[in-house]
Structure 1
């Protein structure tokens, strides 16, 4: 049994595919199949059931998966312990929401790359739903989230800062001139909403759920830039983080509504798994996040 066999097994189990596992690990499929077969032979059990082109973990495979992940984490810790004095190197995979990638991450990555050019950086965009499983499966090293305060024992929140949100419209919109705006007011107009799984979509829905009105959903799942443009042209009301619309609010392209009735704040949080070996590359990234924020 070696670490390549364990990684091959865990990756196949995570992706539920030998082909996708081969692509992620950079091997040909026959090599991944061979590594898993050697592992099964040594253990004396079948780890996967193979029914046609579909695979699934056996009961023994489910049991062994937990131990395999622990062994990989232990191996990473052992490897890191003998190279902790070296400059960061290797690969660092960062998961982040689109808004973080657009407005915060470039400065952090630029500084990181300047200081530690031997580290290969990889960025995965997604939502907390994506990153929760990716952190557990060791597919990413660290995630930067926009969400409510995280209270999951498995994860360490290394850094957090407030992220105020606001309902926004064009400056000519009927709501733009109101001194105070309530959920019932917002519900009267077309809504420009983010996609399923987005943390502030839930915030959006909580703000409007008690209106009793039939909500007019005009756009769903657009990027921040798309939602800003649609709203600036007076086509509806949207909810976005204020850091993403500072220029538009300053230039009066978008009007921040004085919304009453719900705290429109989330947190930006830098998160990693509690069992994750904090390598020199990850430690350096966490430090730069603290410096910049």
Structure 2
């Protein structure tokens, strides 16, 4: 069985779209369609139902997808073990959320490139849900993210570091000099939050609900810089990882509130699929994550 057929099948099954799968694989759509037809003929079953532009797995396709992923992982492991070179080289595909990519990843990759210049990087930015899917579908080698502690059975967390969130305001905000700030204090002011579904917003919302307090959202955006700008101008309170605002706090453009509510803590995590072969390039990345301050 041609491993390219397996890869095409997994890609179409993930994206539910032949055109997008072809773009990702770098093939013509007709080639991907032909590959799937060849695989279906070899297996003697129909793998997809095509409902207009929507592509859905048949029950047989759902069952085969489990084995296809295992086959692809085994192929990569075998290929890597037989490689004559144990020195990191090739392409390392890293998934990261927006915050990590902007504030943490550049330093890691700068150090990595100094030590292993033959490795090229491919970076995919996505939400926590997307990163989890990409790991399970073998679309990325490793993920670096900020979230609550992960406990997915298929995934292995190699590194986990606690990271605090901070409630940030302009230095002249009424709460800036308050000795202790509780959820009921915050509920009186507009909130500036990262887009819906972000781990920061989810944790803040959970803490406020636990305190039985409501809050009003004035601005919701994926841009951390926009949130900080609005907070600096006095429009409200933003909730961000503390590392996102070190420079603004040091320059007295933002002030960190003395939060006295339930802890707002998340974890920076470096994760890979449990069955993923740890290539020299992945092993080197994990070591750099452990060795340098980032």
SS class of match (1:106): helix
* TM-score normalised by length of structure 1: 0.96
Residue 213 of structure 1: how far off its partner (Å): 4.8
Distance 1:109 1:82, change over 3 A: same
2:71 corresponds in structure 1 to: 71
Segment drifting more, 122-131 vs 184-193:
122-131
User: Matches of 1:79 and 1:251 in 2, distance apart?
Assistant: 52
1:273 corresponds in structure 2 to: 273
Segment drifting more, 51-60 vs 228-237:
51-60
Checking the alignment, whether the CA contact within 8 Å between 2:17 and 2:53 is kept in structure 1 is no
1:37 aligns with 2:37: yes
Distance 1:46 1:187, change over 3 A: same
SS class of match (2:176): helix
Checking the alignment, whether the CA contact within 8 Å between 2:183 and 2:213 is kept in structure 1 is no
SS class of match (1:122): strand
User: Matches of 1:50 and 1:153 in 2, distance apart?
Assistant: 32
User: Matches of 2:145 and 2:230 in 1, distance apart?
Assistant: 25
Q: C-alpha deviations, 1:178-205, integer Å up to 9, x for none?
A: 1111000001000001112211111111
User: Matches of 2:136 and 2:56 in 1, distance apart?
Assistant: 19
SS class of match (1:139): coil
1:109 corresponds in structure 2 to: 109
Q: C-alpha deviations, 1:112-161, integer Å up to 9, x for none?
A: 22222332211111221111111111111111111122222221111121
* TM-score normalised by length of structure 2: 0.95
Distance 1:9 1:236, change over 3 A: same
Checking the alignment, whether the CA contact within 8 Å between 2:232 and 2:253 is kept in structure 1 is yes
Checking the alignment, whether the CA contact within 8 Å between 1:187 and 1:211 is kept in structure 2 is no
1:287 aligns with 2:252: no
Q: C-alpha deviations, 1:223-260, integer Å up to 9, x for none?
A: 11111111011100111111111111111111111111
2:244 corresponds in structure 1 to: 244
Checking the alignment, whether the CA contact within 8 Å between 1:84 and 1:279 is kept in structure 2 is no
SS class of match (1:234): coil
User: Matches of 2:22 and 2:237 in 1, distance apart?
Assistant: 45
SS class of match (2:143): strand
Checking the alignment, whether the CA contact within 8 Å between 2:96 and 2:125 is kept in structure 1 is yes
Task: State how many pairs are aligned.
Answer: 293
1:230 corresponds in structure 2 to: 230
SS class of match (1:185): helix
User: Matches of 1:222 and 1:71 in 2, distance apart?
Assistant: 37
Q: How does 1:69-218 map to 2 (within 5 A)?
A: 69-83=69-83, 85-210=85-210, 212-218=212-218
SS class of match (2:239): strand
User: Matches of 2:216 and 2:280 in 1, distance apart?
Assistant: 50
Distance 1:40 1:206, change over 3 A: same
User: Matches of 2:241 and 2:52 in 1, distance apart?
Assistant: 48
User: Matches of 2:120 and 2:130 in 1, distance apart?
Assistant: 22
Checking the alignment, whether the CA contact within 8 Å between 1:10 and 1:68 is kept in structure 2 is yes
Q: What are the ranges of 5 or more consecutive residues in structure 1 without an aligned counterpart?
A: none
Checking the alignment, whether the CA contact within 8 Å between 1:129 and 1:197 is kept in structure 2 is no
User: Matches of 2:70 and 2:211 in 1, distance apart?
Assistant: 48
